[in-house]
Amino acid sequence: MVAVMIFAFALAVVVYFIPSIVAYARRTQNFLAIFLLNLFLGWSLLGWIGSLIWALLDEKKGYAYVQIPVAAPSNNASISPQPRAIMTAPPTPSSTAVFCPHCGHAVGPEDLFCAHCGHALRQPPEK
């Protein structure tokens, strides 16, 4: 009878610490935090399920440490200064050059209508 009770207690402890065991087996980054959550909030079903989900979803130690150095240079290489300068450069280099918004033909800065397509470049002055 005593042996059965000890066995039942041991089984309950094992079941209680399943999230910590999973976290330890997967060598997760936040094993200590998962263990503490499991220890203090495992008595509530929500805390137990939460720590178990955390243990299952948490990234492995090796994965995170390998991923950071690999990802950093590739990000820097993709964002080279030359494409950024082209992107931010205005399409018209000087303020005096005006282009028709309708057809893109070059027009004079004082022109009211586009000489190419006749598009009204600005509102006619009020009389």
The secondary structure of 8-44 as a DSSP string is HHHHHHHHHTHHHHHHHHTTBTTHHHHHHHHHHHTTS
Return the number of the residue (34 or 121) whose C-beta is nearest Zn ion. Answer: 121
Return the number of the residue (22 or 100) whose C-beta is nearest Zn ion. Answer: 100
Q: Is 118 exposed, middle or buried (0-12, 13-18, 19+ CB in 10 A)?
A: exposed
Return the number of the residue (60 or 116) whose C-beta is nearest Zn ion. Answer: 116
Quote the CA–CA distance of 20 and 39 in Å, as a whole number.
Answer: 9
What is the closest distance, in whole angstroms, from the C-beta atom of residue 114 to Zn ion in the complex? 3
> How far from the centroid of its chain's Cα atoms is residue 31's Cα?
24
Q: Applying CB under 5 A, which residues contact Zn ion?
A: 100, 102-103, 105, 114, 116-117, 119
Quote the CA–CA distance of 58 and 62 in Å, as a whole number.
Answer: 12
What is the closest distance, in whole angstroms, from the C-beta atom of residue 108 to Zn ion in the complex? 12
Return the number of the residue (27 or 102) whose C-beta is nearest Zn ion. Answer: 102
What is the closest distance, in whole angstroms, from the C-beta atom of residue 115 to Zn ion in the complex? 8
List residues bridging with 113 in a β-sheet: 120
What is the closest distance, in whole angstroms, from the C-beta atom of residue 96 to Zn ion in the complex? 18
